[in-house]
Structure 1
Amino acid sequence: MAELAFPKDAMRVLKETSRTFYIPITFLKRELKHSVASAYLIFRAIDEIEDHADLDNDAKYTMLMKVSELFEQPFNNEEYFRILGSEKANLPDVTVRLEEWVQACPKDAQPIVMDAAREMAWGMAKWAKENWNIQTREDLDDYTYYVAGLVGVMLSDLWALYADEQTDRELAIGYGRGLQAVNILRNEEEDLDERGVNFVPEGWTRAELFKYAEENLAKADEYMKSLHKRSIVLFCRLPLALAHKTLKAMKEGREKMTRAEVEQTVEEVKSE
């Protein structure tokens, strides 16, 4: 019965914080919708710690490592607030309310989601300590695995749990990496200007980053072939279609897709 009581406010917060994934999540059937929605809120909560402009890297490392450990046992909100400490007042609502998103996750899915959250927080902590100093393709692969590739793996585990869909782990990682690579390309100047962070390997040109994105999006296209349930296909197809079209727009010298292009893509995917 817990799944029936999924908090409406969680979907509101999701819509406000994760526009890219809100629409595809609404395509999913009940248990998957609730599992994936709560997972994305949990990931966003962690991500806001990694991205926070007023936290130094040592503070991010310590906080994220401790949060990672929290996901190894039943979630303790008092301990979580102790970890956030005085920074709690400066962190966004989605981060402060992490316990609510954990509780909203269906019980069957919780081990899968918590394990992914634990791994993500650990990986983000590691890269915060390194000041996201990405020197090689291996470094980029490692970083994009922790922030996106492992989400692909988690989703595949949820597809298997609720819909008996069997997928390839490496292709699932490629799916996540491909979307993240497009984000890195789109936000390259902003990341450098606002955070002083460059996710591009030493010596790489923008053309090489485009190639990296295309290689991983090709894996994502291959991943799609293993999916059969319509709601899951729709969920995966929309972010992928937007990523392909965003990449095309940037190759044409545009910063991003227009709102009209985004809306048209949503309609195209829904009608397929």
Structure 2
Amino acid sequence: MTSSAVAHRITRTGILIALMLFAIVPLLSMFSTALAAPGSTPVGLSWPSDPHWHNFVDAWSAANFVALFRSSTLIVLGVVPGTVAMATAAGYALAQLKVPFGKAIYGLLLVGLTLPFEALITPLYYDLRSMGLLGTRAAIILPLIGLLMPFGVFWMRAHFLGAEPALTEAAKVDGAGPWQTFCRIHLPLATSAWSALSVLFFLASWNQYLLPLVLVDDPTKRTVAGGLGAFQGQHGTDIVLLCAGSLLIILPSLLIFLVFQRNFVKALMQGAVK
């Protein structure tokens, strides 16, 4: 191995370690703070001499996490399956089928990628109020479906554009129609893409903060991240309890990512190769 290759490996390893520390140190700091004595204000990153594990139980009870986790689960189930299914079908149609005005439709979807949630929150509020949905979970689910669709279609279209044309031609020779070709050939081959998209949509729905905070008054109907706003208002001065509650919110997202990380990385690598 040449000296330049060794230097390149050392540099790459150093950058990876720095990025890892950049991501892990804040979590370790939150974890050590969550184990400190209740009501205290820990400074820096230090392991407490007497860890107070019951702080997590206190945060769970104080924030009513049972209701928040139930509400977040209902919102995720209302958003992720349907949005992934629609985005996958739309991405396949725009990539593989001759859809009338397909380029114009795709251009409009790309415009949707440029619109931030903050710019849409005011018209969404008045629209949902006029429909009588304000204060319900539908006020979170329906806007999230619309806001996530542009990225979902963009993600799945990029995957289907790289699909092997010979597979579609072979299916046509065998007498398969567009729907059969999609369901029996392209959809199974796109498992990594749509499963990675499901993880991204889960994270976006589970960690959604702004929409639940503005559109739903009842904290028990919000997501856990949205419910954290009410929890912070009540216990904002209790740093220990706040860190414990934040870690409880992060835990499901971390577990989901760890379980599906292989599919996620595989989808990213496929996109890079294509």
Instruction: Report the TM-score when normalising by structure 1.
Output: 0.29
Structure with bigger gyration radius? 2
- Larger RCO (alpha carbons 8 Å, 6+ apart): 2
